[in-house]
Amino acid sequence: MKNTPFGIFDYQPPTSPWLSVIHRDAHILILDKPSGLLAVPGKPEAHDDCLETRARKFYRGAMTVHRLDRDTSGIVVMGMTRKAHANLSMQFEKRQVKKTYIARVWGNMVGEKGHVDLPLATDWENRPKQIINHETGRAAQTDWDVIAREDGITRVRLTPATGRSHQLRVHMLSLGHPILGDVFYAEGEALAAAPRLHLHAESLTFTHPDSGEICSFTAPCPF
């Protein structure tokens, strides 16, 4: 998969495993999306292969509730009925879903935890990149906790309160610690330090749309 700085790419999605199912019942489908696979179809016909298309081949009622970036791996929930889809979508809209991510970032972060509160807006000349803009940006907040320190690299757990496009990438960059392998925001050694974006959606916690119980699902981090 070849990338340009602004996201035009030769799309070669991974094929093994074709679809990784963590959980399924009559109302929800929990999947582990691999890095390199689009969440929903792109505009070119060649970009029809995606998590949504694959899921619907096996589970006809599956409907996308939220998305992960193409290069981000990890856990995704889909609704299996219109009622479940509407319920889950509302939970995401009202920020009632707790999400955690694992990332490896360039450099040694100072401190053990912190909070980033910086508004994000689209960099229209360089789409799909995002920028910090205090005048027109939409509110975005991320909590971070250090998990481990390596030689010049820090492993962190990220908990976003909002779900803006490229939020975690830009917030880590704002701290001076780009995520390894990030073709949009990392440069030089930070870009070359990993063969893929080292960002993984680790867990989702939400209210089951049918039973009303709090449920939590985890996708093991592959890096």
Q: Of the residues 32, 48, 49, 69, which is catalytic?
A: 69
Compute how many other C-beta atoms are within 10 angstroms of the C-beta atom of residue 213: 7
Q: Are strands 120-122 and 214-218 parallel, antiparallel or unpaired?
A: unpaired
Active site residue 32: no
8 Å CB contact between 166 and 129: yes
The Cα–Cα gap between 166 and 66 comes to: 14
Compute how many other C-beta atoms are within 10 angstroms of the C-beta atom of residue 123: 17
Q: Which two structure tokens, joined as six digits, stand for 117?
A: 């509160």
Compute how many other C-beta atoms are within 10 angstroms of the C-beta atom of residue 101: 25
The Cα–Cα gap between 178 and 169 comes to: 7
Q: Are strands 98-106 and 153-160 parallel, antiparallel or unpaired?
A: antiparallel
Coil, helix or strand at residue 125? helix
8 Å CB contact between 199 and 168: yes
The residues that are catalytic are: 69
